[in-house]
Amino acid sequence: MTMALEVQGLTKVFRRRGKDPVVAVREIGLQVQPGEVVGLLGPNGAGKTTTIKCILGLMLATGGSVRVFGRDIARHRSDAAREMSAVLEGSRNIYWRMTAAENLGFFTLLHGVPRHEAQPYNHRLLEVFGLADRKDVSVQELSAGMRQKVAVACALATRASLVFLDEPTLGLDLETSHELRRLLRELAASEGRTIVLSSHDMAVVQDVCRRVVIMKEGRVVVDDSVANLLALFRTRAYRFALSDGCPDGLEQRLRERFTGVTMNPGRPFVVEVVLDRAEDLYAIIEVLRAAGVLIDTITQREPDLEEAFLRLMRGEGI
Amino acid sequence: MNVRLLGCVFRAMWMHRLIMARRYAFNTLSSMITIYLVFLLLFLGGRALAGPMLLGDGLEGLVVGYLVWMFALFAYSDLAWELIMQAQIGTLEKLFLSPAGFRWVTIFNELGGLVFNFGLGSLMLLAIMLTTGTFLRIDLVSVIPLLLATIAAAYGFGLMAGGLALVHKRIQAAFQILQFVFVGFIMAPGDWVVSRYLPFNLGTRLLGQVMGDGVRIWQLPASDLLVLVATGAAYLALGMLVFARMERMARNRGLLGHY
């Protein structure tokens, strides 16, 4: 099967006069199947945006190759560009002096879609994104959330098969972010688009993507399904509520034997722990029993992607 | 390159220009008034100083020189300013993503600009002629090719400035100074050997002969026409070369989306 995106050995080195070269991206390999929705995560400076810009041809890679639906972007740039569209850096990359409808019309034409072919779908997008009533209002008069929706709609309006969304929910309030996530989920499911979504917001990635690629210092450190990543920690994260508080020395004994121990004083006193092995549950109960504390409740904590990400960044679970 | 794709990109850039002209109508109008007022100052100041000497050939020369400067300014600032503005508002990278490629996007944008600027320039010329009472001969068959060959150099400078803006971003100071350097190019004395190779200089003189004396383009010396076209093409090619180099540098350093 032809991959929607195939990246091999992608490297980007920034050379600056009189300074050491900075390796932003190191020999990245990535394959994305048609219809997949992939999240690209990583701390600041991990190389996410550089990777996306190299794939899009906005930045020249130092080495490696990028194929979009089987076409090498270096040799068949025009054909590859037809298959791709992007929202970069939030809502800045649309024309604020133009209306939402004009922006959609402009960007579809720029992508080579004639007006008569673009219009029905543009209207649909305006409806779906809740912009139909304000389609003839200048973008600068719209709210931040609406502007962001216009930017995403412009990227989708080109009907490109591979869409890159770099921080699509940046600066949005919670309600608008949730709405945009829902729209992206629905559009990805109904149209079978391939989406690569980069975000600092783990909840967005967890909500929209099935697979996540985590980058650190220019390298891919994890490439797995969101479900697998959550499962990796789900079976091991426990919360013990102690009705009699925490006796002296218990914390030290727990920390000596188990990793990821967090003590939360209060009523009840809560001990959170991530166990290396499932059978360690018996061992921790034994330690608590020996310390003479009463266990009020034991709950298996549901880790979210943010926690999984933070633990992976600390080197746990890899 | 796919003709349908190019047709769409041309329509996109034309549509964008028309919409922006409407939205920035006040800005367009005020810059036209400024250009007209500057000419009025030159005209009235020149008449106060030179008296009746600023009549006939002298006045025609002033009008033609001002006309060339105005068109050169339109062409140069249109291209360079557009690139700076697109980088500022963050849409430059989106233009690079067009399957037609950024080169065609720029060409079509400038074609639209040329048509638009010809319209505005013609209105300005009419206003200037009515003010001075000097009515030039507008032989379009002769004037348009000469004017295009003359302002080709301005597009070359526009590409250079635009390319520099992609890498160095804030170049407004140099950008504005160059507008006045253009005046020097136009006004350089014709008896200097080097003048005919300067941007706009030979073109202004040939346009003066066509618009002032009624000479037709085919009656002009072939060597002059050859030098005019060759120098225009050379400055344009130099601009394209600098722009391509700067564009590559900006893409290599990842500067397209920065401002």
| CB < 8 Å to A110, chain B | 8-9, 12, 94-95, 98, 100, 105
On the CB side of B95, CA atoms within 13 Å amount to: 25
The DSSP secondary-structure symbol of A216 reads E
Q: Give the mutation candidate from B9, B23, B95, B97 for the A interface (greatest A CB count, under 10 A).
A: B97
**Contact B27/B99 with Cβ under 8 angstroms?**
no
Residue A318 belongs to some domain of the structure:
no
Query: Domain check: are A207 and A267 in the same one?
Result: no
Query: Which residues in chain A (130-169) have CB-CB distances under 8 A to chain B?
Result: 138
In angstroms, the CA A256 to CA A284 distance is 11
Q: Considering A172, A202, A230, which residue would you say is the last residue of a domain?
A: A230
Query: Domain check: are A78 and A221 in the same one?
Result: yes
B248–A60 CB contact, under 8 Å: yes
This model of the complex carries an ipTM of: 0.85
What 3 state SS string does chain B have?
A: CCHHHHHHHHHHHHHHHHHHHHHCHHHHHHHHHHHHHHHHHHHHHHHHHHHHHCCCHHHHHHHHHHHHHHHHHHHHHHHHHHHHHHHHHCCHHHHHCCCCCHHHHHHHHHHHHHHHHHHHHHHHHHHHHHHHCCCCCCCHHHHHHHHHHHHHHHHHHHHHHHHHHHHHCCCHHHHHHHHHHHHHHHHCCCCCHHHHHCCCHHHHHHHHHHHHHCCCHHHCCHHHHHHHHHHHHHHHHHHHHHHHHHHHHHHHHCCCCCC
Residue A252 belongs to some domain of the structure:
yes
Domain count, chain A: 2
Residue A75 belongs to some domain of the structure:
yes
pLDDT at A197 over 90: yes
**pLDDT score at B11:** 95
pLDDT at B169 over 90: no
Q: Which residue has the higher pLDDT, B44 or A126?
A: A126
Can you give the C-alpha Rg of chain B in angstroms?
19
Look at residues A58, A56, A52, A6 and name the one whose alpha carbon lies nearest to residue A25.
A52
The DSSP secondary-structure symbol of A93 reads G
In angstroms, the CA B165 to CA B252 distance is 15
Residues 6+ apart with CB under 8 A from A30: A5, A6, A7, A10, A51, A213, A220, A223
Structure tokens at B116: 């638009």
pLDDT at B6 over 90: yes
Q: Which residue has the higher pLDDT, A64 or A279?
A: A64
Which residue range forms the structural domain that includes residue A243?
Answer: 235-313
Nearest CA in chain A to B105: A110
B9–A94 CB contact, under 8 Å: no
* Number of neighbouring beta carbons within 10 Å of residue B11: 18
Strand partners, A213: A40, A223
The tens digit of pLDDT for each residue in A232-260 reads 666 677 889 988 788 888 888 888 888 77
**Sorting pLDDT into bands at 50, 70 and 90, what band is A154?**
very high
Residue A11 belongs to some domain of the structure:
yes
Residue A274 belongs to some domain of the structure:
yes
A92–B256 CB contact, under 8 Å: no
**For A91-107, b where at least 16 C-beta lie within 10 A, e where not — what string?**
bbbbbbebbbbbbbbbb
Phi, psi of B240 (to 5 degrees): -65, -40
In angstroms, the CA A302 to CA A274 distance is 11
Label residue A176 exposed, middle or buried (CB < 10 Å: 0-12, 13-18, 19+): middle
Residue A306 belongs to some domain of the structure:
yes
B14 CB within 8 Å of a chain A CB = no
**Sorting pLDDT into bands at 50, 70 and 90, what band is B82?**
confident
Q: What percent of chain B has pLDDT over 70?
A: 96
**Contact B254/A59 with Cβ under 8 angstroms?**
yes
**Contact A308/A234 with Cβ under 8 angstroms?**
no
Torsion B241-B244-B247-B253 (CA) sign: negative
| CATH number for the domain harbouring residue A204 | 3.40.50.300
Compute the average pLDDT of residues A132-140.
Answer: 93
**pLDDT score at A238:** 85
**pLDDT score at A163:** 94
In angstroms, the CA A233 to CA A157 distance is 39
The tens digit of pLDDT for each residue in A57-89 reads 999 999 999 999 999 998 888 899 999 999 987
Going from the C-alpha of B29 to that of each of B25, B66, B210, the distances in angstroms are: 6, 18, 29
Q: What percent of chain A has pLDDT over 70?
A: 94
**pLDDT score at A164:** 95
**Sorting pLDDT into bands at 50, 70 and 90, what band is B57?**
low
Closest-CA distance, A9 to chain B, in angstroms, reads 17
Query: Domain check: are A279 and A222 in the same one?
Result: no
Nearest CA in chain B to A78: B99
Query: Domain check: are A191 and A50 in the same one?
Result: yes
Residue A42 belongs to some domain of the structure:
yes
Mean confidence (pLDDT) of chain A: 87
**Contact A136/A99 with Cβ under 8 angstroms?**
yes
* Number of neighbouring beta carbons within 10 Å of residue A156: 26
Q: Considering A203, A230, A257, which residue would you say is the last residue of a domain?
A: A230
**pLDDT score at B51:** 63
Closest-CA distance, A217 to chain B, in angstroms, reads 18
The residue assigned the tokens 């109960």 is A285
| CATH number for the domain harbouring residue A255 | 3.30.70.120
In angstroms, the CA A186 to CA A62 distance is 37
Closest-CA distance, B1 to chain A, in angstroms, reads 9
Query: Domain check: are A183 and A264 in the same one?
Result: no
Return the C-alpha torsion angle A261, A265, A268, A271, nearest 10: 0
Phi, psi of B17 (to 5 degrees): -65, -45
**Contact A303/A233 with Cβ under 8 angstroms?**
yes
Residues 6+ apart with CB under 8 A from A102: A95, B15, B19
**Contact A106/B104 with Cβ under 8 angstroms?**
no
Query: Domain check: are A130 and A105 in the same one?
Result: yes
Going from the C-alpha of B6 to that of each of A162, B12, B98, B111, B159, the distances in angstroms are: 22, 10, 10, 13, 21
Query: Domain check: are A143 and A282 in the same one?
Result: no
Q: How many residues does chain A have?
A: 318
B192 CB within 8 Å of a chain A CB = no
**pLDDT score at B117:** 86
Please give the order of strands across the beta sheet that includes A5-14.
A22-32, A5-14, A63-68, A71-72
> Residue B19: which of A79, A82, A98 has the nearest Cβ?
A98
Query: Domain check: are A270 and A287 in the same one?
Result: yes
Size of interface A-B (CB pairs under 8 A): 107
B87 CB within 8 Å of a chain A CB = no
The DSSP secondary-structure symbol of A293 reads P
Query: Domain check: are A156 and A87 in the same one?
Result: yes
Query: Domain check: are A149 and A24 in the same one?
Result: yes
Nearest CA in chain A to B259: A92
Can you give the C-alpha Rg of chain A in angstroms?
24
pLDDT at B170 over 80: no
Query: Domain check: are A205 and A302 in the same one?
Result: no
pLDDT at A90 over 60: no
> Residue B99: which of A14, A78, A138 has the nearest Cβ?
A78
**pLDDT score at B212:** 83
Identify the three-state secondary structure at position A10: strand
Q: Considering A230, A257, A276, which residue would you say is the last residue of a domain?
A: A230
Structure tokens at B67: 């006309």
A94 CB within 8 Å of a chain B CB = yes
In angstroms, the CA B230 to CA B222 distance is 12
Q: Report the Cα A239 to chain-centroid distance in Å.
A: 28
Query: Domain check: are A86 and A99 in the same one?
Result: yes
What does pTM read for this prediction? 0.82
B5 CB within 8 Å of a chain A CB = yes
Residue A273 belongs to some domain of the structure:
yes
Compute the average pLDDT of residues B50-64.
Answer: 70
pLDDT at A133 over 90: yes
